[in-house]
Amino acid sequence: MGGTNIDPRQALLTAIKAAFDGDPQAFINQTDNLNSDDVLMIGTVVQIYCYADFNGRRIVDVLRHAALGEPRSASRLQDAQVFPALEKLVRDHLWDGDLKDGLLKAGVTIELHRVHRHNFAHWMARRVKGANAIVMFSMNSKEAERRDGSVLDPYEAKYGILPLEGFDAEVEKLKGHANYLARTAAELEREVDALRGEIAARRSA
């Protein structure tokens, strides 16, 4: 006799959404201020992304300079452009190996989770009573439309739900990728001349 595997995170999301949509005012009354661990986690994620953005720009500058002879200009990139630019440079100009694989993995993972950094930095958060989850709110129409494409009613707030089960493991993964970017940025800056020569040699081979 077969059974259906139910994702507990999805079940929690469904239950919280049903409670909120059923009676928003009653639901909000069933939320608490964030605890100190929540605040630490949110601040950690925001700082991880600041660190990753900083070092991602360094790597973009080194690769542009080494592969294309362009001046350093990554400081002009918007936040959302940094890791897509990094991925394109890596795919276009680096050869198969640990460096290419590491940069692609780090960049793609950081970019994939960037929405959490943005929400933590710009949305109000509350802890859901009786559940390991937080709910986030925004009355910023641009923020709301950016999430799902729907226009925010002036009398409403947009909300999102984040189950926290397992999220600490994701934070540790992001820390690892951010640290890898920092180490790699420093190494590439030291070896930029060798990198330029290697890229040129492989092009002419």
Parallel/antiparallel/unpaired status of strands 133-138 and 124-128: antiparallel
Q: List the beta bridge partners of residue 161.
A: 135
pLDDT at 10: 83
pLDDT at 156: 75
pLDDT at 149: 67
AA identity, residue 192:
V
> How many angstroms separate the first and last alpha carbons of the chain?
61
Q: Which residues contact 117 (CB under 8 A, 6 or more apart)?
A: 45, 46, 48, 49
Structure tokens at 156: 């409403």
> Rounded to whole angstroms, how far apart are CA atoms 196 and 52?
24
Structure tokens at 74: 């990554």
pLDDT at 148: 67
Spell out the domain ranges in the chain: 35-121+167-200
Q: Which residues of the chain have pLDDT under 70?
A: 1-6, 143-145, 147-149, 152, 155
pLDDT at 2: 47
| Angle, vertex CA 103, rays to CA 68 and CA 111, nearest 5 | 105
Q: Helix, strand or coil for residue 6?
A: coil
> Rounded to whole angstroms, how far apart are CA atoms 175 and 95?
26
The pTM for the full model equals 0.86
> Rounded to whole angstroms, how far apart are CA atoms 181 and 56?
7
Quick: pLDDT tens for 98-116.
Answer: 999 999 999 999 999 888 8
Q: List the beta bridge partners of residue 49.
A: none
Structure tokens at 106: 């780090």
Are the CB atoms for 105 and 97 separated by under 8 Å?
no
Q: Which residues contact 203 (CB under 8 A, 6 or more apart)?
A: none
Quick: pLDDT tens for 39-60.
Answer: 999 999 999 999 999 999 999 9
